[in-house]
Chains A and B, each alone.
Chain A
Amino acid sequence: MKQLLNQKPIILLISALLLGALFILPLIVTSPSLMQIIILIVLYAYFTSTWNFVGGFAGVLPLGHSAFIGIGAYTSTVLFQTFGISPWFGMIVGGLLASLVGVIIGLPTLKLRGAYFALATIAVGEGMRVLFENVKQVGPFKINGPSGISLPLMESSFWTFQFGSKATYYYIILIMLLVVLLLTYFMMNSKVGYYLAAGGEEPEAAEALGIKVSRYKLIAMAISCFLAALGGTFYAQLMLYFYPKSIMGLDLSFEIAFIALIGGRGTILGPVLGALLLRPVSELTRIYLGASLPGLHLVIFGLILIVVMRYYPKGLVEPIKKLIDRFIHKPARGKADDPSNPSARQE
């Protein structure tokens, strides 16, 4: 915390202003459909930030993250439907379940390097979706195969996690995002973060320095899947209807990975930046061309990715950080590029 507040006053001031603006946003935006788009931007920033714990730091590229989002959505929803258990509680159960599944999947797959891990996660993610599409009922829980679940409409209340006003959803997901970003920050500046990065980058050297690499990757996986599932519950409560393709599909997993890579994986602000840029693209193509060209948004993302990787292989946070450094940290020109710049901490 000390480190967090140890920034230049101007950075703190700008951050405070930005935060303030985020919190008064619903007072300015009155259109519910615009609010919905904004909520989805924040939600995708949240999803990608949870992905970041593994994809950003452990040196692998997960492409099946939506499986854990789906576990969250299904768990809280069936618990509510069947037993009337509040989604807030179901959310935690879903998180723990996703964590468990993540660790079980991670045990064999996290040892794989590069493309092999990516392929394994695609297989697991798709396998999970197909499984859910082929099951109508598990014990007392109805999941209805490919047609999915509609949540029963309830009165707007905290307990039912259903709200009449979009603003409430917005505040919930905004706070969830801020908490995850804070967690990311603390992780990066802790032993777990250092060990994870070391093991991701050069596993042999990491092991020689006393690091049980697989253990730290599993910790990251557990955190990442837990948090992803919480986002899944939020999605279910926001939409009140979901089905395997909408919440466990490859589309969602790929969109998350694209957001991370274009924004900047392994950084705090990368996922936020990526979501801000890509979500509107994805909304617009869906609104105007969705019927004739489904999946077009992924093609566009691919093109953006190629261009961004060409010039900024670390993602768009790179040039933005340079700009900030230039204007705030080092007003003296040219010095911002100095590699021995001591202010180049983890951010």
Chain B
Amino acid sequence: MALLEVKNVTKRFSGLIAVNDVSMSVEEGQIVGVIGPNGAGKTTLFNCIAGALPPSSGSILFDGQEVAGKKPYQICQAGVTRTFQVVKPFATKTVLYNTVVGAFATTQHLHEAETKAIEVLKFLDLYNKRDVVSQSLTLPERKKLELARALATEPKLLLLDEVMAGLRPQEVTEMLPIIRKINETGVTIVIVEHIMQAIMNLSEKIYVISFGKKIAEGDPHDVVSDEEVIKAYLGDEYVATQH
């Protein structure tokens, strides 16, 4: 049985269909990529899975349980943690404080939460920033903090929404092994990313979304040579010149 099963999920905003009858299936232990042009509906799909928005229709099974329409905190407690594309740190609090909030998901005790948080910060190479107030972090650091907080909740499934956007190529290169290492500790990952190199490098399977619709899925290399995908990304002329 798949760990995450999204079945025919649709999300409408007055008039606009942001996610249109999308289905996807994520097996335990996988890294699955979701790509698509800006405004395709990727974040909205994450919002539906994580409970930030109730889907208009469709079903979302996590670990066999229906989670569509549940509250974000319930879904997090069930084992799904997401990061925000537009980062939302607890701005006046330090990096350590932010991460401890995440770590409290699995314990009642401050010292245990702190131990867990410090472990995560060391893992993500943020430990030397632990006492910096998060509003004075750089954007790449804030993206990392999003990841740190999410990881501290010890999720079974991690939804990463463009955690590498805004990173320099070298920083992306550093991030890839970190994400793979998170996956190796047993965390299943669904990752939305614009950077093709990153997605290709990480994912076992890719879903392509355009205008709310799933237009392709499968092995990364097959998917990127798919005509419709090239069209969605690069326009019709590009496809024409290929022939």
Which A residues have a C-beta under 8 Å from some C-beta of B? 189-191, 194-195, 197-198, 201-202, 204-213, 339-342, 344
Contact = CB atoms under 8 A, between A and B. Distances in A.
B153 A209 contact: yes
A191 B105 CA distance: 9
A202 B145 CA distance: 14
Contacts of A208: 50, 52, 72-73, 76, 81-82, 84, 150
Contacts of A212: 71, 73
B204 interface: no
A204 to B, nearest CB: 6
Of the listed residues A194, A209, A341, the one surrounded by the most CB atoms of chain B closer than 10 A to its CB is: A209
B113 interface: yes
A122 B76 CA distance: 36
Contact of A204 (B88, B94, B130, B132): B88
B104 A202 contact: no
B162 to A, nearest CB: 15
B153 to A, nearest CB: 6
Contact of A211 (B73, B88, B129): B73
B38 interface: no
Nearest to B90: A201
B201 interface: no
B91 A209 contact: no
Contact of B88 (A189, A191, A205): A205
B52 A198 contact: no
Contacts of B88: 202, 204-205
B89 interface: yes
B91 A202 contact: yes
A191 B108 contact: yes
Contacts of B110: 189-191, 194
B92 interface: yes
Nearest to B77: A210
B230 interface: no
A212 B105 CA distance: 11
Of the listed residues B90, B136, B149, the one surrounded by the most CB atoms of chain A closer than 10 A to its CB is: B90
Contacts of A210: 73, 76-77, 81, 105, 153
Contacts, number: 89
Contacts of A190: 110
Interface string B51-87: 1100000000000000000011100110001101000
Interface stretch (B7-15, B95-103, B216-224): B95-103
A207 B71 contact: yes
Nearest to A198: B101
Given A190-B110, A197-B93, A209 B71 contact: no
A194 to B, nearest CB: 5
Contacts of B81: 208-210
B52 A209 contact: no
Contacts of B184: none
B131 interface: yes
A205 B102 CA distance: 10
A204 B90 contact: no
A341 B100 CA distance: 18
Contacts of B77: 210
Contacts of A201: 90-93
B133 interface: yes
A209 B113 contact: no
A300 to B, nearest CB: 29
A194 B129 CA distance: 19
A280 B130 CA distance: 41
A208 B89 CA distance: 12
B149 A341 contact: no
Contact of B100 (A194, A205, A207, A339): A194
Nearest to B78: A210
Given A194-B100, A210-B77, A342 B131 contact: yes
